[in-house]
């Protein structure tokens, strides 16, 4: 039996941040990982998808460079090299998350699958570990919907698509969420024909609908075929061809055929192998049940990251891990606050989100909601670069308090940082609109959309007084 101050189960973003932080505080930490440290983000998620997106962007840039007078000739895709780049990106990042690094920080890294055998007791391949505090950070896996015939078809998920041996000629994708759409565009740019089928009425349903629809139009213009309101009822496979049979809301049928199928219909928490009930840890439809302090239903057991459901992002896993550290080791625990959490869909153009969408704001704040837009198509820098697609959309109340910010456009993932900081610090649209931004840059679009609010105050008595002053 080994005694530690803290056992962390799972070595993805949440588990790594918890382990490194606790070791830094001087705790004796055991980190148990059944596969590879780095988790979903490094091996099957953020890193390989962004590396593949970079390959697709390079192909698209080369193909469209002639508008700048730069002629590259026929663009040829070496798919083996594309996947080699994906692996190279992973190899370059892996040392940050390696067992050697964590051992050098003082963490006891244990390879194997952990399961609870009782309160604060965990077993890993026959070895028993005990600690006063345990953190469950076992992440999530692809949720595969119960569709007739799907289990008999060799479908791909994010766990297998980055190790394909051949580039699909036609890739069918189930699900128009962020994973489905990022990969749809990347594969299409690399020369695969892509068809996306989505059962819902909207793509990216958590996003501001106006911007999500503009993004859908951009993807369609690039040749990604997206069919909404198409509920796949049967999947079949014959002579290397996969066929989807779907029904639309009006009863009409849709079929699609391809040589590969990616299932990207959501995520399910990894709880099955943990025997959580033996430790008194309750689970629900979203995964491990936690309160706002990330405590589970068992004393001394916390959970962080994707396994808790909610916002499944690496930066949220990181935030929760830091909160768990604080709450597990120090008095006066703190509650999680998810009001200002940015996230990004890494399509081109990118779609970035923080706070409330227009619809959410109207549901909560009614008529006091104001919307301020600044399209990119007549911004000087966007014109010069030929990145005219998208806009900054700010959602405020009538006093200019920022309720949400949404950016569709080139570099949106970076632009959202300014709006995030403004919201976090209570900076109003008036202050954003009066802040000098460098010319010509994309963040000017944030200032200019906020100026919409500043100008809106130039009415009534203010306008009358100003008129009098300038004309006297």
Ligand X SMILES: Cc1cc2nc3c(=O)[nH]c(=O)nc-3n(C[C@H](O)[C@H](O)[C@H](O)COP(=O)(O)OP(=O)(O)OC[C@H]3O[C@@H](n4cnc5c(N)ncnc54)[C@H](O)[C@@H]3O)c2cc1C
Write the interaction track for ligand X spanning residues 36-55; mark x where CB under 6 A is met and - where it is not.
Answer: ---xxx--xxx--x------
Does 111 help bind ligand X (rule: CB under 6 A)? no
Query: What token pair was written down for 151?
Result: 């289990």
Least distance between ligand X and beta carbon 224 (Å): 17
Spatial separation of the C-alpha atoms in residues 78 and 455, rounded to whole Å? 52
Distance CA 300, CA 430 (A): 46
For ligand X (CB under 6 A), the number of binding residues is 38
Q: How far apart are CA 184 and CA 100, in angstroms?
A: 36
Nearest to 9 by CA among 133, 137, 105: 137
SS3 204: coil
Q: Which lies closer to ligand X via its Cβ, residue 281 or residue 379?
A: 281
Task: Report whether the peptide linkage leading into residue 340 is cis, meaning its omega lies within 30 degrees of zero.
Answer: no
- Residue 13 contacts ligand X per CB under 6 A: yes
| In the complex, minimum distance from the CB of residue 162 to ligand X, in angstroms, rounded to a whole number | 9
Q: Which of 189, 195, 312, 447 forms a contact with ligand X (CB under 6 A)?
A: 312
Q: Which stretch binds ligand X (CB under 6 A): 241-249, 303-311, 417-425, 447-455?
A: 303-311
The residue among 14 and 419 lying less far from ligand X, judged by its C-beta, is: 14
Do residues 23 and 105 make contact, with C-beta atoms less than 8 angstroms apart? Answer: yes
Q: Does 15 interact with ligand X (rule: CB under 6 A)? A: yes
Q: Which of 19, 60, 90, 158 binds ligand X (CB under 6 A)?
A: 158
User: Based on CB atoms, which residue is closest to ligand X, 149 or 300?
Assistant: 300
47: exposed, middle or buried (Cβ count in 10 Å: 0-12, 13-18, 19+) = buried
* Binding residue (CB under 6 A) for ligand X from 22, 52, 150, 179: 179
- Round to whole Å and give the CA distance between 2 and 422: 47
Query: Of these, 6, 7, 8, 9, which contacts ligand X (CB under 6 A)?
Result: 9
The structure tokens 């460098």 sit at 438
> Is residue 314 close enough to count as binding ligand X by CB under 6 A?
yes
**Is 208 a residue that touches ligand X (CB under 6 A)?**
no
DSSP count for the chain of H helices, then E strands: 14, 23
Residue from 33, 207, 348, 350 in contact with ligand X (CB under 6 A): 33
Contacts of 441 (CB under 8 A, 6+ apart): 381
> How wide is the angle at C-alpha 115 spanned by C-alphas 113 and 116, nearest 5°?
160
User: Which position among 175, 305, 349, 404 is part of the footprint of ligand X (CB under 6 A)?
Assistant: 305
- Pick the closest to residue 261 from 187, 331, 157 (CA basis): 157
269 binds ligand X (CB under 6 A): no
Query: Rounded to the nearest whole angstrom, what is the least distance from the CB of residue 274 to ligand X in the complex?
Result: 5
Can you tell me which of 4, 6, 7, 10 binds ligand X, judged by CB under 6 A?
Answer: 10
Query: In the set 6, 20, 274, 429, which binds ligand X (CB under 6 A)?
Result: 274
Sole binder of ligand X in the list 273, 334, 434, 464 (CB under 6 A): 273
Residue 34 touches ligand X, criterion: CB under 6 A: yes
- My answer on whether omega of the bond before 440 falls inside 30° of 0, hence cis, is yes
Residues in the chain: 472
* 52 within 8 A of 186, measured Cβ to Cβ: yes
What is the contact surface with ligand X in residues (CB under 6 A)? 9-15, 32-35, 39-41, 44-46, 49, 113-114, 137-140, 158, 179, 270, 273-274, 305-307, 312-315, 317, 346
């Amino acid at each position: 039996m080994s005694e530690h101050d803290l056992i962390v189960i799972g070595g993805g973003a949440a588990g790594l941040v918890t382990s490194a932080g606790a070791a830094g505080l001087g705790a004796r930490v055991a980190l148990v990982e059944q596969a590879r440290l780095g988790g979903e983000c490094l091996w099957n998620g953020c890193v390989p998808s962004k590396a593949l997106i970079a390959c697709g962007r390079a192909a698209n840039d080369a193909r469209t460079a002639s508008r700048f007078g730069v002629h590259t000739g026929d663009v040829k895709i070496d798919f083996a090299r594309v996947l080699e780049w994906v692996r190279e990106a992973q190899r370059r990042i892996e040392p940050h998350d390696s067992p050697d690094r964590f051992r050098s920080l003082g963490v006891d890294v244990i390879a194997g699958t952990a399961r609870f055998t009782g309160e604060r007791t965990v077993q890993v391949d026959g070895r028993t570990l005990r600690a006063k505090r345990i953190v469950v950070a076992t992440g999530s896996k692809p949720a595969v919907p119960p569709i007739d015939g799907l289990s008999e078809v060799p479908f791909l998920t994010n766990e297998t698509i980055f190790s394909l041996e051949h580039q699909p000629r036609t890739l069918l994708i189930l699900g128009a969420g962020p994973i489905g759409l990022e990969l749809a565009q990347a594969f299409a740019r690399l020369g695969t024909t892509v068809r996306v089928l989505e059962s819902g009425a909207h793509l990216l349903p958590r996003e501001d609908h106006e911007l999500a629809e503009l993004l859908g139009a951009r993807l369609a213009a690039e040749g990604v075929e997206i069919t909404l309101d198409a509920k796949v009822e049967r999947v079949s496979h014959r002579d290397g061809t996969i066929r989807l049979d779907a029904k639309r809301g009006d009863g009409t049928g849709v079929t699609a055929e391809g040589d590969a199928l990616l299932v990207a219909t959501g995520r399910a928490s990894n709880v099955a192998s943990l025997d959580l009930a033996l430790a008194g840890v309750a689970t629900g439809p979203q995964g491990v049940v936690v309160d706002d302090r990330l405590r589970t239903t068992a004393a001394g057991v916390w959970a962080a990251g994707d396994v808790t459901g909610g916002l499944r992002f690496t930066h949220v896993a990181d935030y929760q891990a830091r909160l768990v550290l604080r709450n597990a080791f120090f008095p006066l625990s703190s509650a999680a606050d998810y009001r200002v959490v940015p996230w990004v869909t890494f399509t081109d153009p990118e779609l970035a989100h923080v706070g409330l969408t227009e619809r959410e704001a109207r549901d909560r704040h009614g008529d006091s909601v104001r919307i301020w837009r600044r399209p990119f198509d007549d911004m000087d820098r966007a014109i010069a670069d030929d990145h005219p697609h998208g806009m900054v959309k700010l959602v405020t109340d009538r006093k200019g308090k920022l309720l949400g910010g949404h950016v569709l456009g080139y570099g949106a993932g970076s632009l959202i940082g300014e709006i995030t900081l403004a919201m976090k610090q209570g900076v109003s649209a008036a202050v954003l609109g009066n802040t000098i931004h460098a010319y010509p840059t994309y963040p000017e679009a944030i200032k200019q959309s906020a100026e919409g609010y500043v100008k809106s105050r130039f009415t009534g008595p203010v306008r009358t007084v100003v008129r009098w002053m300038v004309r006297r």
